Amino acid sequence: MKKGLMALALVLVAGLLAYTMLFNKDRAPEVQYTSITGQQLSTRSLKGKVVLVNFWATSCPGCVEEMPEIKKMYQQYAPRGFETVAVAMSYDPPNYVKTYVEKNQLPFFVALDPQGSIAKAFGEIQLAPTTMLIDKQGHIIKRYVGVMDFKEVRQLIEKQLQS
């Protein structure tokens, strides 16, 4: 009887673990983004798209380094259902963000996070750049802290856009 219960317990634990690994992916938080021009965007409205959410700051060397590549990726993949949301860190003055966006002609959605509520919702983001790649169902499939591996990101985007 004891052996049977132990076996049953092991099967249940293994099943729960398998279920968690397969079906309980990390969901992107439900947040509301507000752009530097006052436009609104929500997590819900992005469902069905592959989304790159990049937390950045104009004073961050790594952020400034990767921004041209993020711009290229957006231009390449946007027609196929890819979206980019660049979230300026709470300590970045809005006028600096606006000037940077205009000077560099960023074509994607740039959001302000003055209270840090978006960064908090994504797991208390403190370091920039921090980036999340989100699949069409709203699951975070990759997190980067620091400058992204763009070869890997492009491969992941391609794979997600094909599915």
For the segment 136-154, the average pLDDT, to the nearest whole number, is: 96
Task: Give the Cα-Cα-Cα angle 110, 64, 125 (nearest 5 degrees).
Answer: 65
Q: 11-20, 40-49, 80-89, 102-111: which has the minimum mean pLDDT?
A: 11-20
pLDDT of residue 5: 47
Q: Give the residue from 87, 96, 80 showing the smallest Cα distance to 129.
A: 87
pTM of this structure: 0.84
Q: How confident is the model at residue 3 (pLDDT cuts 50, 70, 90)?
A: low
Q: For the chain, which domains are there?
A: 26-162 (3.40.30.10)
Residues in the chain: 163
Q: How far apart are CA 154 and CA 98, in angstroms?
A: 27
pLDDT of residue 25: 58
Instruction: For the chain, give the percent of residues with pLDDT over 70.
Output: 85
For the segment 51-56, the average pLDDT, to the nearest whole number, is: 98
Instruction: For the chain, give the percent of residues with pLDDT over 90.
Output: 83
